[in-house]
Amino acid sequence: MDSVKLAMTRSFDLQIRHTRRLTPQDQARFVTAVSQFNQDPANPGLNFEKLDGGPKSNLWSLRASQELRILLAVDDSQFVFVNAGHHDAMYDWAKRRDHYVDLASEVLADLQVTVPDIPLSLKRASKGKPHHPSLAELREQEPGTPPYPPPAAETPPTGPSLIQDLIWRVFRGDFEDWQLFLYPDQKPLVSRHWSGAARIRGAAGTGKTVIGLHRLAELARRYPDDTVLFTSNSRSLAELLERRFRNLPMAPSNVEFANIDRIVYKYDSWTPAHFSLVDQTFEAACKELVAGFLLERINPDYLKEEIERVIKGNDLQSLDHYLSVERIGRKRSLSQDLRKQVWELYELWAGKLSERNAVTFADKRIRVRDSVQKLAQAPYRCVVVDEAQDVTLVELQLVRALVAGDPQNPVPKDGILILDDPAQRIYPGGYRLGWAGVDITGRAQVLRKNYRNVPAVYRAAKRIRGNELVTMEHEDDKYILDAELGFPDREDEKPILALVDRDGEFLYLGEKIRDICAAENYSTDEIAVFLKHNSQVYASISFLQSHGISCARLTRDGFAGDGIRVGTYDRARGLEFRAVFLPCLGATQFPDISGETDGEGQEFDPDQDLESRQLELDRLYVAMTRARELLLLIADEEPCEEVRRALGEEIILRDLRGQPIADSTPSL
């Protein structure tokens, strides 16, 4: 028997061990397969076979799972592991190289493999005594013919205890790996073939975005000659998820990430939106029309949202249409007389915009939707829409046009995947899928289990938010989604509300950040601070940096700088962190809402106040559920009633007023 030496290239070593490029379960499968080959190359479960090719061919394939393959170059007296990845990608890689790797040009290292501590369901027991076949024995096999009959299709672990064990191990492992971890029972949603548009919805922490990223990779491999798109209405979310996607193993290149407004810029070369002019013209229209009218009772911001999110967001073409439209997502009822005045304000504003040659983004979205619907060929094969609860009808119509073109064309198979949760809506307005020509009959899935948050964090967030829906009840949004909790409950994981002395919030925040970084092995990019207003964001960053704590501000373009992540509640969507801090939660700071205008004695509608308040609670709910393990709320006064109702049962109160706070300044 020939002596067989096992070796690997440097690139292979990096590929199977660099966890940022592999999901934990895939990495475990690769390492386990290599270890089993080391013990017994004849193990039938490995399906070791030579690839097709000419006389120069030296590549063989090793089966790590039903979808994963490892490639070896067999040359003289050594087997060299050269690449690993998904089946189709590996076979394409081999074909491009004529099934040959020149080992003389590679940096090789002796192979040393240990099996990681992984669930038994991921390990494959060797059969028979270890046996290293000779090269002569291997070369006698016909190319493409396995040495043993192929094993039955792999069955992933389905037992609740095995799945729970796997998830718990990954949860306690590398945080970046966790952000790409696909739960075993969600894998079918990634590989499914849908005949048209589909929707996956679920409460916070149920894995919608992770499914979307893996689905995106699957679609890109399924349609390699086309481009697939990931979009949302948040630019920062799209750009951050693009970086996360590139860490997937063998991430396809025919994938584009762009938020909806970036798509608008791509297809619209007309007058750019000018935010200051837009605001100035609206204020001028209000001063000219609102005084003395019934509209004077309504907050100007509410009126602007009504025009941009209801009238323009639904592209209403006439007063009659506006008078009859169902104002989904708006609790404040508007009488026919009030709607007529809102329409008059809309037309007056439009005239002033035209005079100043100014264009709102809502108008640009309408124009781009119309342009894309007229294209001879749809620009994308598939699109995944994340946080879809916050897009308008026009934006959803644009998404449909990106894959189907004309509204009369059907959505192609696998064409649209909608990811949403009505409880996380942070912008007013809404739509029915049918209004956009999107039919998901038989292709709607609801996720039922939260695996992101420790139970105490999820329960506290849900208790504060309550069960009120901003949207009106209809077939698309008729209930608040709840989720089963995926981990055992522990008393020491309950969120804390710290009451501190007046103006002591940031000082206490800095102290606690230094404490957990020193004691709990948290890295700065695993910690986030979220606040309601941008002014609070700037103030907190200024204070923390002056006390030696580096910060990275979450902007429209992603994170600016390195350090603790700091941003508004709105920028928190789609993200997750091990620890989240929420200062400025005193009752006069949150929820800072009122249906009244600044004038004295002006009345406000309680439904308008309820809508605004609920949207503020939705934003706080989003921020709270970004915390995987540790959640700390901070206030320098008594909190609002919604936070108070969670105290004792879901949130621990620590009244630190009158107690000194350390002001040490070690750098982070």
- What confidence score (pLDDT) does residue 597 get? 38
206 labelled ligand-binding:
yes
Return all residues near 518 (Cβ < 8 A) that are at least 6 apart: none
355: Cβ contacts below 8 Å, ≥ 6 apart: none
Whether residues 561 and 423 fall in one domain: no
Name 261's Cβ contacts closer than 8 Å, sequence gap at least 6. Answer: 233, 235, 361, 365
* Burial category of 625 from C-beta neighbours within 10 Å (exposed 0-12, middle 13-18, buried 19 and up): buried
Reported as a pLDDT band with limits 50, 70 and 90, residue 273 is low
> What value does the mean pLDDT take over residues 323-330?
86
Residues 279, 250: one domain? no
Confidence tier at 524 by pLDDT (50, 70, 90) = confident
CB distance 71 to 82 below 8 Å: yes
> How far apart are the C-alpha atoms of 35 and 179, rounded to whole Å?
27
Question: Has 601 been labeled as part of a binding site?
Answer: no
C-alpha–C-alpha distance, residues 258 and 366, integer Å: 18
- Is 597 assigned a ligand-binding role in the annotation? no
Residues 191 and 297 both lie in one domain: no
Q: Give how far the C-alpha of residue 654 lies from the chain's centroid of Cα atoms, to the nearest Å.
A: 33
pLDDT value of residue 149: 35
Contact 588, 576 (CB under 8 A): no
56: domain range?
A: 5-113
Q: Report the CATH number that the domain containing residue 427 is assigned in CATH.
A: 3.40.50.300
Q: Are residues 633 and 506 part of one domain? A: yes
466 is in an annotated binding site: no
Mean pLDDT of 567-589: 92
Tell me if the bond preceding 41 is cis, omega within 30° of 0.
no
Same domain? For 647 and 504 the reply is yes
CA atoms of 490 and 108, how far apart (whole Å): 48
Question: In the prediction, which pLDDT does 529 show?
Answer: 97
Q: Indicate whether 244 and 288 sit together in one domain.
A: no
Confidence (pLDDT) at 159: 58
Q: Indicate the residue among 310, 329, 363 that finishes a domain.
A: 363
Ranking 137-146, 417-426, 597-606, 645-654 by mean pLDDT, the lowest is 137-146
Between 460 and 14, whose confidence is greater? Answer: 460
Is 205 annotated in some ligand binding site? yes
Of 338, 363, 388, the domain-final residue: 363
pLDDT digits (tens, 9 = 90+) for 25-55: 777 778 778 877 877 777 777 888 888 777 7
Is 599 annotated as belonging to a binding site? no
Report pLDDT for 410.
Answer: 96
Q: 586: which residues sit within 8 A by CB, 6+ positions away?
A: 635, 636, 637, 638, 639
Residue 136 is predicted with a pLDDT of 43
pLDDT at 283: 93
Question: Would the annotation count 658 as a binding residue?
Answer: no
What pLDDT sits at residue 654? Answer: 94
Nearest partner of 566 among 580, 578, 548, judged by Cα: 580
- 212 annotated to bind ligand: no
How far is Cα 119 from Cα 194, in angstroms, rounded to an integer? 32
Strands 5-9 and 108-110: antiparallel
In this predicted structure, what is the pLDDT of residue 475?
52
pLDDT beyond 70 at 117: no
Do 643 and 539 share a structural domain? yes
Residues 346-357 have pLDDT tens digits of: 999 999 999 988
Lowest mean pLDDT among 28-32, 336-340, 478-482, 550-554: 478-482
581 and 570 inside one domain: yes
- DSSP-derived letter for residue 204 is T
Whether the per-residue pLDDT at 532 is higher than 80: the answer is: yes
Number of domains in the chain: 4
Residue 207 has pLDDT above 70, yes or no: yes
Whether 324 shows a pLDDT value over 80: the answer reads yes
Residue 286 · residue 345 · CB < 8 Å: yes
